[in-house]
Structure 1
Amino acid sequence: MTKKLMAEVFGTFILVFFGCGSAVLMGEQIGMLGISIAFGLAIVAAAYSIGAISGAHLNPAVSLGFLMSGRMPAGEFAGYVLAQIAGAILGALVVFLIASGKTGYSLAVNGLGQNGFGPGYLGEYTMGAALIFELVATFVFVCVILAATASHVSAASTALAGLAIGLTLAAIHLVGINVTGVSVNPARSIGPAIFVGGKAIADLWVFIVAPLAGGAAAGLAHASGFFRPAGVQAEAKGRASAV
């Protein structure tokens, strides 16, 4: 279990360091497309480095989806969430330490890639728009993860799961960076917000509640058999009846 938790710390660190780091350190040079790709590639890097150890959840909403779908023991959930938050905080801290080395950098002005909404934040979308985007995007994201890593998926397809998940996160960023900066991950939001404070902390509840709701809904959808082929679903029901 300790090895799994350390893997989650490291993997979530990778996500925040690559993703938020690209926004803070290279944002003007690479733009939103580059930032989207960075977040996607971070998932790919983590999936293929620690996926075999912890499953590379990197995200409390993903872990909740696994829990609700019956694919994660309840006893592991809290540990995973704490490890993910710790990794995100470490990632944000390293980005801050690097950014602070640039003349003219201001945490209050330049931030740490924190999420937000409303007046003064990127596209200035409303709280309602932020909630809808984060809920729907997280639902889609976790559905893809659960489906791509399901037991009925072929070994060849499973080997490509990390790439599919990373591309999905990149696509989500292409749609939503202007709306909320894209969270779909409470840990990713908590890390930068702790250092930035102010509005980032005030807005943080949206990036906890909406992603967790989306992840839970995806887990329940997966548990219902919606994402399993008909034959597999029937077989699973048959085993349950036999028990």
Structure 2
Amino acid sequence: MIRKFAAELIGTAVLVLFGCGAAVLGGFDIVGQLGIALAFGFAIVAMAYGIGPVSGCHVNPAVSFGAFVAGRMSAKDMLVYWVAQFIGALLGAFILGMIAKTGFAQLGQNGFEAGSPGGYSLQAGMIFEIVATAIFLIVILGVTGRKGHGAFAGLAIGITLAVIHIVGIQVTGVSVNPARSFGPAVLVGGQALSQLWLFIVAPLIGAAIGGVLFRLNLLEPEA
């Protein structure tokens, strides 16, 4: 479990550093929305093959929760993963803040209404985060299942995360990951911290939906 804890901590830190880093250090003017989306997707692909054999590369409390709901993870292991993921996200955001010219004022934090890149409402943000996270979990649980395509799982998951970002960056900046939102919000504070609740609640609801579909064998392949 110590190895899994370390893997999840490092993996989540890398996701936040590279994904949010593309938004902060590259930005829309340099790498654009597509570049930011690919940075999140590629970071997941890299970590899937780097730490996947150790921990499964959840690097996301919603993924761990979805796996728990689906019956693929114990509550004890899930809680250990959560601690590692939140610490890792905070570490990744801290490193980014130490590098960025703007310091800790802008760390790629998520938001709605005034905090949304495109000015989208709370309702729009809630719907997007729930639906996107549910889809993300369906892909993850499907490709990592007993009849999944293990060797290509990392690619499928990374591509899905990139597509989610291409569609949703203007809505909320895209969370689908409570830890990814937690790290930047805690260090930025203010509005980002006050809106953090949405990016914890909505991804967990979406993850539960995805997990239940597999728990009820509605999406599990026939034996």
* TM-score class normalised by the smaller sequence: over 0.9
- What is the match of residue 114 of structure 1? 109
- What is the match of residue 187 of structure 1? 179
Residues 32-57 of structure 1, C-alpha deviations (whole Å, 9 max, x = no match): 00000000000001100000100000
Is residue 2:11 matched to residue 1:11?
yes
Match of 1:136 among 131, 152, 156: 131
**Over 6 Å off, 4+ runs:** none
For 1:119, what is the secondary structure of its paired residue? helix
- Taking the TM superposition and a 5 Å limit, the aligned residue runs for 1:137-216 are 137-153=132-148, 157-216=149-208
CA distance in 1, matches of 2:168, 2:213: 23
- What is the match of residue 53 of structure 2? 52
Residues 175-220 of structure 1, C-alpha deviations (whole Å, 9 max, x = no match): 0000000000000000000110000011100000000011111111
CA distance in 2, matches of 1:121, 1:88: 21
Q: Against the structure 1 CA distance between its residues 74 and 121, is the aligned structure 2 distance closer, same or farther, given a 3 Å change threshold?
A: closer
Contact 2:115–2:192 (CA<8 Å) still a contact in 1? no
Contact 2:60–2:179 (CA<8 Å) still a contact in 1? yes
Identity level (%)? 55
Q: What code does the residue aligned with 2:23 have? A: A
Is residue 2:34 matched to residue 1:33?
yes
Q: What code does the residue aligned with 2:127 have? A: I
- What is the match of residue 92 of structure 2? 91
Question: Runs of 5+ in structure 2 lacking a partner?
Answer: none
TM-score with structure 2 setting the length: 0.97
CA distance in 2, matches of 1:12, 1:226: 30
CA distance in 2, matches of 1:36, 1:94: 20
Q: Against the structure 1 CA distance between its residues 228 and 121, is the aligned structure 2 distance closer, same or farther, given a 3 Å change threshold?
A: closer
- Please tell me whether Structure 1 or Structure 2 has the larger radius of gyration of its CA atoms: 1
Pairwise CA RMSD:
1.0
Q: What code does the residue aligned with 1:68 have? A: V
CA distance in 2, matches of 1:57, 1:5: 11
CA distance in 2, matches of 1:35, 1:146: 25
Match of 1:220 among 203, 206, 212: 212
For 1:132, what is the secondary structure of its paired residue? helix
Question: Runs of 5+ in structure 1 lacking a partner?
Answer: 233-243
Residues 103-154 of structure 1, C-alpha deviations (whole Å, 9 max, x = no match): xx2543xx1000001025311100000000000000000110000000122x
- What is the match of residue 2 of structure 1? 2
TM-score with structure 1 setting the length: 0.89
- What is the match of residue 235 of structure 1? none
For 1:70, what is the secondary structure of its paired residue? coil
CA distance in 1, matches of 2:216, 2:143: 16
- What is the match of residue 73 of structure 2? 72
